[in-house]
Amino acid sequence: MSEGVERSLEPGGAATADAVVVTERAQSASGDERGGLLHGPAARNLGLVIALALLCVVGVVTAGDRFASIDNILTILRLAAITGVLSIGMTFVITGGGIDLSVGSVLGLASVWASTLATQTMAQDTHWIVMVFTALLVGVACGLVNGVLVAYGNVVAFIATLAMMVAARGLAEIISNRQTQRVKVQGFLDFFRDDWLGIPVLVWIFALVSAAGWVLLNRTTFGRRTLAVGGNPEAARLAGIKVKRHTMYLYALAGLTAGIGGVMMLGRTTAGTSTNGMLYELDAIAAVVVGGTLLAGGRGTIVGTVFGVLIFTTLTNVFTLNNLSISAQAIAKGVIIVGAVLLQQRVAARSRAGT
């Protein structure tokens, strides 16, 4: 009997203890708030800076000057540029509560589209900028199809964009007849091979898209709507935000970045093939998530995404310089993704209990 009584007291006791812990956390959190720097986005990005710095240290130690040279750094940035642009679009879609699996395929389709145009006779009469423009249009169009399906057709984003991923790849194969199409438009090739102020054009494009993405997400009504739609679509709808329309725009934006990526790919490799951008969507998603954007939506960071892209590209570079296999790279990437997400959950849980 007395045993029973003791047991019956347990839950009450435990509850009180919990309450005490919560209050303590709340106090320490409000302390942080006043402390400033160690809290919020700065703290989150600090982890990424440290991770990237560690990778660089590893690079310098293992590869020495081969890693720490201007040329190598530009190589890393050039490699990061295309995935980077895709990741910016992906950041918007994921922050808005969605996912886009089709960007890699759409990139391929856009590049093939542009290279096909470039090999037609009409290319000789028109400026290459028209070719670029149509490639971007193809990207936006694919994104719009995704967006309409997700927003108005109520198709789950994963499925709608999976369908686009398969279909766009197929369409690219038909257009290119599975051939590699060499682009010989000199103006186009020169533009993408050029450097401005010693920095490759591809890297400039990545930087410009990132800056534009940052402004769009953090300083405009479009960005605020994205956060609202991803954070709580029902609350956003009941506040008068046109959630469906905005969702559609987000996929169109991702499609646009895929189109830009397609053109960049064409500029870098000078060839349009239907296999361009294969599995890039996964690299983009990984970079976004590692960067600290919540996969569930409602919180996104462009700076984090850029770091995420750089971390993965630097990793690849360090491994390559040390002649490690692609398989080993893949394992390391997997570990980084899981580690970052676990860390993210900790931070999220703490901010939930505290602030």
| Contacting residues toward another protein, per CB under 8 A | 1, 4-5, 7-8, 10-12, 14-15, 26, 33, 219-225, 227-228, 231-232, 234-242, 298-299, 351-352, 355
Supply 279's token pair. Answer: 């599995």
Half-sphere exposure of 341 (CA within 13 A, CB side): 13
Give the helix/strand (H/E) hosting 199: strand 199-200
Whose CA is closest to 347, among 45, 2, 35, 83?
45
As a whole number of angstroms, the distance between CA 94 and CA 45 comes to: 18
CB of 234 to another protein, least distance (A): 5
CB of 241 to another protein, least distance (A): 7
Report the SS3 class of residue 27. Answer: helix
As a whole number of angstroms, the distance between CA 97 and CA 85 comes to: 19
Nearest residue (CB) to another protein, 177 versus 355? 355
CB of 215 to another protein, least distance (A): 8
Nearest residue (CB) to another protein, 259 versus 297? 297
Q: Who's near 254: CB < 8 A, 6+ residues apart?
A: 89, 90, 92, 93, 100, 103, 143, 146
CB of 336 to another protein, least distance (A): 25
CB of 92 to another protein, least distance (A): 15
As a whole number of angstroms, the distance between CA 168 and CA 176 comes to: 12
What single string gives the DSSP state of each residue in 239-267? TT--HHHHHHHHHHHHHHHHHHHHHHHHH
Q: How many residues does the chain have?
A: 355
Nearest residue (CB) to another protein, 11 versus 198? 11
Nearest residue (CB) to another protein, 11 versus 187? 11
Whose CA is closest to 286, among 336, 214, 212?
336
* Sign of the four-CA dihedral 134, 138, 143, 146: positive
Nearest residue (CB) to another protein, 153 versus 334? 153
Nearest residue (CB) to another protein, 217 versus 289? 217
CB of 118 to another protein, least distance (A): 35
Nearest residue (CB) to another protein, 232 versus 275? 232
CB of 331 to another protein, least distance (A): 33
